[in-house]
């Protein structure tokens, strides 16, 4: 596995200030400006005692570093870059220095003279420079963090831990410090992102969040904020590219459209709806740089607001479960959203892969995906965000790059953190902080099979739209069909439950608890721990029998094979 980070990610996190954290125990700072590189060379030299080879006549690297100290004092930035490059070429094939921290730091300083992070880190990987040393991952993550590339820095920590970089305890401690810093940043940003009342709607207590009048009002009030969003490019002119966007619907493969100075080679349609089409595309024809382009007519910039709100309010490790948007180009007649592309299919594809064979998804796999969805909604709702279109087509499957272990399942440690689902399509997303505290919604999603009980009975709703969608997806996984509900009387009033019965060998108590609570929880009796408590009941069951986790691992491997 190589570090394959897109340069556009830099823009995504550029709104965070640059940081100069200093958790390295020996106090060496490797986050530099070009004017500080001479000082850094002296720091590297002064730390030669930490290296595996002490400076001596036979220590070629140490002697070269000493000569560099003399040259760097009179060298320009360009000359210094060439000197560093020459030194790396001289020693990179020498096994004696493969795990020498001085050589690793030399690479890090060299990185700061260039803009092409990706090719250099790939070269470091190929040269196996300290690939088993936690120092490599810690220093590189710090470097990315200083550049504002927070998501990429987080990924470096994860990769290093997955590879058991030694000492592992130090790397985990560094990761914990990083996550603590990010939490502080995000919490601070969310308190100042929007003044409490500045962008709120009028004081009415019942609103259709999807009506054209509501969206128009929100967009007008958010317009100053949009101008501050990194990656948001707006034009009053219509799209005027050489390749017509409407022509992509019929025959899109290998057509090239140019947006914002970049060329996107369309590789096919990845999905479409009434107003938007999503295309898989290569940036500048590179198969290693794949994105999804969502073309929508008329333009719909509000979805970009939802992605930026997710960036601000949801911290790692949960952030990767909700998709990333790099840029949005808004024209007079359309908008083009540029997002990450995941290639492993949707949860709907997973359900269909069983149905085509005349089977249903096995219960242990249903339980796993149910846990993932409950955690998603738990995270979203606590951040005052509603997805509004929670269905299997919008849940992309993520797979771990390394082997999953039973002992890490409960804490989602190791590769489990990158295994799961990713929720996309935020066109119906609702930012509750834009509305009064006591708001209740009256809009109808008009999506057959996903209209919650409140919509069906013309009653106000809030979080029920997402919880009902989750119930429909669970029903599809268990029964292979959309959910129908029946209304029954009880001493406490009306009670709703699925029409389909549960199979006797299922964990009926778990499923009954989920459906009864999620279908019968109104705004008045909604509790923040509702989703968490249900999730914990499923997790406790899976962890109660070790063979269930082993079976789950096997099923995930089979599912990946069938979908790919």
Reply yes or no on whether 389 is catalytic: yes
Q: Give residue 274's pLDDT band: very low, low, confident or very high (50, 70, 90).
A: low
Which of 63-72, 145-154, 524-533 is the most confident on average?
524-533
> Dmax over Cα atoms in the chain, in whole Å?
90
The catalytic residue among 59, 112, 340, 389 is: 389
Instruction: For residue 551, give the 3-state DSSP assignment.
Output: helix
Q: Which residue has the higher pLDDT, 120 or 88?
A: 88
Q: What is the pLDDT of residue 122?
A: 61
pLDDT at residue 275 tops 70: yes
CA distance 286 to 284: 6
H-helix or E-strand spanning residue 143: helix 134-146
What is the rounded CA–CA span in Å between residue 492 and residue 456?
A: 21
Element (H, E) at 373: helix 363-382
Residue 546 pLDDT greater than 60, yes or no: yes
Question: ω before 298 within 30° of 0 (cis)?
Answer: yes
> In the predicted model, what is the mean pLDDT of residues 497-504?
93
Count of C-beta atoms within a 10 Å radius of residue 564 = 9
How confident is residue 387, by pLDDT bands cut at 50, 70 and 90?
A: very high
Q: pLDDT at position 432, please?
A: 95
Per the prediction, the chain carries an average pLDDT of 78
Q: Looking at the predicted structure, is the pLDDT value of residue 324 above 70?
A: yes
pTM of the model: 0.67
Highest mean pLDDT pick, 87-101, 269-283, 493-507: 493-507
Q: Which residues contact 304 (CB under 8 A, 6 or more apart)?
A: 226, 229, 231, 232, 325, 328, 337
Most confident of the following: 30-44, 213-227, 404-418, 452-466: 452-466
Confidence class of residue 37 from pLDDT cuts 50, 70 and 90?
very low
Q: Which of 23-32, 120-129, 139-148, 493-502 has the lowest mean pLDDT?
A: 23-32
- Residue 397's pLDDT is 92
In angstroms, how far is the first alpha carbon of the chain from the final one?
19
According to the per-residue pLDDT averaged within each range, which of 32-41, 80-89, 300-309 is highest? 300-309
Q: What is the mean pLDDT of residues 125-138?
A: 70
Q: Stretch 117-130: mean pLDDT, rounded? A: 62
pLDDT value at residue 464: 96
CA distance 562 to 399: 13
Q: Tell me what pLDDT residue 308 has.
A: 94
Cα(93)–Cα(133) distance, rounded to whole angstroms? 18
Average pLDDT on 307-333 reads 92
For residue 154, the model assigns a pLDDT of 74
Alpha helices in 195-273 (DSSP H): 212-226
**pLDDT for the residue numbered 103:** 76
Q: How many CA atoms lie within 13 A of 531 on its CB side?
A: 21
**Average pLDDT, integer, range 505-531:** 91
The set of residues, in sequence order, having a beta carbon less than 8 Å from that of 421 and lying 6+ positions away, is 321, 347, 369, 372, 373, 376, 395, 396, 397, 398
Query: What is residue 10's predicted lDDT score, i.e. its pLDDT?
Result: 32
pLDDT band at 33; cut points 50, 70, 90: very low
Residue 111: pLDDT band (50, 70, 90) is low
> Which pLDDT score, from 0 to 100, does residue 532 have?
95
Check residues 95 and 452 and name the one with the higher pLDDT. 452
293 within 8 A of 278, measured Cβ to Cβ: yes
Q: What is the pLDDT of residue 94?
A: 81
CA dist., res. 450 & res. 390, Å (int): 8
Return d(Cα 85, Cα 274) in angstroms, integer.
53
**Span 317-342, average pLDDT:** 92
Q: Is 30 a residue whose pLDDT tops 50?
A: no
Is it the case that residue 479 has pLDDT exceeding 60? yes
Least confident of 91-95, 238-242, 260-264, 396-400: 91-95
CA angle 296, 298, 301 (to 5 degrees): 70
Element (DSSP H or E) covering residue 32 = none
Alpha carbon distance 142, 125 (integer Å) = 17
- In the predicted model, what is the mean pLDDT of residues 217-237? 87
Mean pLDDT of 89-108: 75
Highest mean pLDDT of the ranges 47-51, 131-135, 286-290: 286-290
Q: What is the rounded CA–CA span in Å between residue 59 and residue 123? A: 24
């Amino acid at each position: 596995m190589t570090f394959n980070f897109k340069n556009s990610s830099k823009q995504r996190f550029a709104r965070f200030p640059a940081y100069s954290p200093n958790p390295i125990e020996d106090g060496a700072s490797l986050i530099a400006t070009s004017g500080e590189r001479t000082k850094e060379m002296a720091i590297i030299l002064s730390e030669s005692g930490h290296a595996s080879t002490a400076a001596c006549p036979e220590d070629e690297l140490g002697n070269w570093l000493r000569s560099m100290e003399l040259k760097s004092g009179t060298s320009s930035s360009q000359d210094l870059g060439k000197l560093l490059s020459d030194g790396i070429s001289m020693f990179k094939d020498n096994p004696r220095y493969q795990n020498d921290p001085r050589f690793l730091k030399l690479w890090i300083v060299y990185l700061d003279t260039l803009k092409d992070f990706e090719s250099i880190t790939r070269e470091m990987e190929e040269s196996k420079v300290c690939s088993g040393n936690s120092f490599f991952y810690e220093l590189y993550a710090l470097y990315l963090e200083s550049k504002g590339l927070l998501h990429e820095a987080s990924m470096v920590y994860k990769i290093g831990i997955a590879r058991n970089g030694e000492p592992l305890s130090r790397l985990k401690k560094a990761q914990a410090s990083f996550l603590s810093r990010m939490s502080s940043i995000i919490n601070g940003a969310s308190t100042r992102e929007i003044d409490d009342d500045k962008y709120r709607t009028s004081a009415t207590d019942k609103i259709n969040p999807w009506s054209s009048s509501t969206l128009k009002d929100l967009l007008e009030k958010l317009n100053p904020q949009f101008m501050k969003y990194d990656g948001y490019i707006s034009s009053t002119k219509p799209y005027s590219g050489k390749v017509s966007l409407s022509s992509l619907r019929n025959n899109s493969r290998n057509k090239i459209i140019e947006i914002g100075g970049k060329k996107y080679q369309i590789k096919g349609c990845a999905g479409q709806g009434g107003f938007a089409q999503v295309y898989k595309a290569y940036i500048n024809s590179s198969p290693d740089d794949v994105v999804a382009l969502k073309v929508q007519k008329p333009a719909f910039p509000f979805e970009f607001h939802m992605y930026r709100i997710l960036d601000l309010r949801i911290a790692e490790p949960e952030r990767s479960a909700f998709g990333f948007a790099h840029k949005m180009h808004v024209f007079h007649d359309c908008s083009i959203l540029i997002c990450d592309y995941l290639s492993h299919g949707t949860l709907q594809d997973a359900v269909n892969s069983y149905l085509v064979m005349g089977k249903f998804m096995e219960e242990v796999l249903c339980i796993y995906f149910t846990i993932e969805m409950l955690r998603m909604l738990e995270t979203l709702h606590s951040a005052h965000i509603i997805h509004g279109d929670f269905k299997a087509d919008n849940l992309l499957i993520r797979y771990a790059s390394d082997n999953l272990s039973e002992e890490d399942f409960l804490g989602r440690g190791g590769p489990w953190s990158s295994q799961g689902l990713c929720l996309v399509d935020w066109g119906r997303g609702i930012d509750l902080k834009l509305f009064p505290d006591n708001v209740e919604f009256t809009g109808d999603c008009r999506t057959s099979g996903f209209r919650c009980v409140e919509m069906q009975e013309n009653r106000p709703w809030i979080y029920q739209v997402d919880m009902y969608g989750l119930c429909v997806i669970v029903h599809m996984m268990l029964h292979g069909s959309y959910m129908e509900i029946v209304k029954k009387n009880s001493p406490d009033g009306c009670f709703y439950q699925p029409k389909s019965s549960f199979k006797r060998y299922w964990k009926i108590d778990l499923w009954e608890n989920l459906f009864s609570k999620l279908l019968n929880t109104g705004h008045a009796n909604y509790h923040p721990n509702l989703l968490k408590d249900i999730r914990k009941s499923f997790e406790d069951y899976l962890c109660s029998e070790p063979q269930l986790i082993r079976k789950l691992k096997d099923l995930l491997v089979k599912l990946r094979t069938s979908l790919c």
